[in-house]
């Protein structure tokens, strides 16, 4: 990060999810001065969500000024397909967005330079520069929750892809003929190994509802059905990560999202399964994310700061 910003400069950062927004004021050195959370309430429709995003950003800039701090830029991270170069949220199922020129709208409303980014790529950027991947130049951040998405960060920049859709590792087909994915194809990684998929699979077989965390606990306690479901998910995840390593050859794979909280129940068997699958490739360091659910907001702040350098 640049030294040319004054210590009193901050950026306004928003990580907009389907249910909530994590927002804050972040200094150029990554220090978080203030955080806020707001409901997204996506059911109100895209126009209302955009208005809330702009109002929250405006409120944060106003708070900074009231505290004698100068807001110098805005960073907004949203899920979906994001054209970062043009500042357009091309498509977001969670937010109902289709071709929303969010960067221009924020710039107009707040009068500040604005960066628009993808939520998982922003989270990956933060983990790679400030969190668990900060020792490695090439980092793959994989967020495993309701779905599975990734960010490939090289020397502090997350690759966006030609169409704003890089990192969709959750849609690598690991089990042809397997459970149907939300994208329509059977056997995608996220249809087998996401936290949601693990809960669904166990619930269907056991006839009782359970979360992925409960499946992990039951597997650890020796319940055979839970152990089977967990092992299948871990093996599919290892297949996906092995493909990722073939493509990206990273030093560090950072796992985030809800599933990574399973700790050694996940990491021990996953490391072993990944080791089995890699032949000539160098094995990446496999570590848990360090920044928790603030990663996306910190990443949005980094995008805002980076945009000032250009
Ligand atoms: Zn899919």
- The whole-number average pLDDT for the span 272-294 is 95
Ligand 1 center from residue 143 Cα (angstroms): 15
* Secondary element (H or E) of residue 252: strand 252-256
- The whole-number average pLDDT for the span 140-157 is 95
Alpha carbon distance 124, 139 (integer Å): 8
Which residues are placed with Cβ below 5 angstroms of ligand 1, an ion? 171, 181, 183, 185, 188
Q: What is the pLDDT of residues 152-193, one digit of tens each?
A: 999 999 999 998 889 999 999 999 999 999 999 999 999 999
Alpha carbon distance 45, 238 (integer Å): 38
Ligand 1 center from residue 186 Cα (angstroms): 7
pLDDT at residue 4 above 90?
Answer: no
pLDDT at 123: 97
Q: Angle at which helices 195-206 and 212-220 pack, to 10 degrees?
A: 70
Ligand 1 center from residue 230 Cα (angstroms): 20
pLDDT at residue 1 above 70?
Answer: no
Return the DSSP state at 83: E
Alpha carbon distance 88, 104 (integer Å): 8
Q: What is the pLDDT of residues 223-243, one digit of tens each?
A: 999 999 999 999 999 999 999
Ligand 1 center from residue 150 Cα (angstroms): 13
Percentage of the chain modeled with pLDDT above 90:
90
Ligand 1 center from residue 181 Cα (angstroms): 5
Q: What is the pLDDT of residues 61-105, one digit of tens each?
A: 999 999 999 999 999 999 999 999 999 999 998 899 999 999 999
């Amino acid at each position: 990060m640049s030294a040319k910003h004054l210590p009193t400069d901050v950026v306004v950062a928003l990580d907009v999810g389907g249910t909530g927004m994590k927002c804050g004021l972040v200094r150029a050195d990554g220090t978080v001065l203030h955080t806020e959370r707001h409901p997204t309430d996506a059911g109100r429709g895209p126009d209302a969500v955009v208005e809330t995003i702009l109002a929250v950003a405006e409120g944060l800039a106003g708070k900074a000024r009231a505290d004698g701090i100068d807001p110098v830029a805005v960073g907004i991270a949203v899920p979906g397909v994001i054209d970062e170069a043009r500042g357009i949220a091309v498509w977001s199922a969670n937010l109902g967005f289709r071709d929303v020129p969010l960067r221009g709208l924020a710039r107009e409303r707040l009068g500040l330079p604005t960066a628009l980014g993808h939520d998982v790529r922003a989270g990956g950027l933060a983990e790679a520069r400030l969190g668990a991947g900060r020792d490695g130049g090439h980092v793959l951040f994989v967020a495993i929750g309701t779905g599975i998405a990734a960010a490939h960060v090289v020397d502090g920049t997350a690759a966006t892809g030609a169409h704003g859709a890089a990192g969709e590792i959750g849609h690598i087909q690991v089990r042809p003929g397997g459970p149907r994915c939300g994208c329509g194809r059977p056997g995608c990684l996220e249809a087998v190994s996401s936290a949601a998929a693990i809960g669904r699979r166990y619930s269907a077989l056991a006839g009782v509802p359970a979360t992925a965390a409960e499946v992990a606990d039951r597997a650890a306690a020796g319940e055979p059905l839970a152990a089977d479901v967990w092992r299948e998910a871990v093996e599919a995840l290892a297949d996906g990560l092995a493909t990722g390593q073939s493509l990206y050859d990273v030093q560090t794979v950072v796992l985030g999202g809800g599933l990574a909280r399973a700790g050694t129940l996940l990491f021990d068997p996953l490391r072993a399964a990944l080791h089995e699958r890699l032949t000539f490739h160098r094995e990446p360091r496999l570590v848990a994310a360090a920044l928790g659910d603030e990663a996306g907001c910190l990443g949005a702040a980094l995008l805002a700061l980076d945009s000032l350098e250009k």
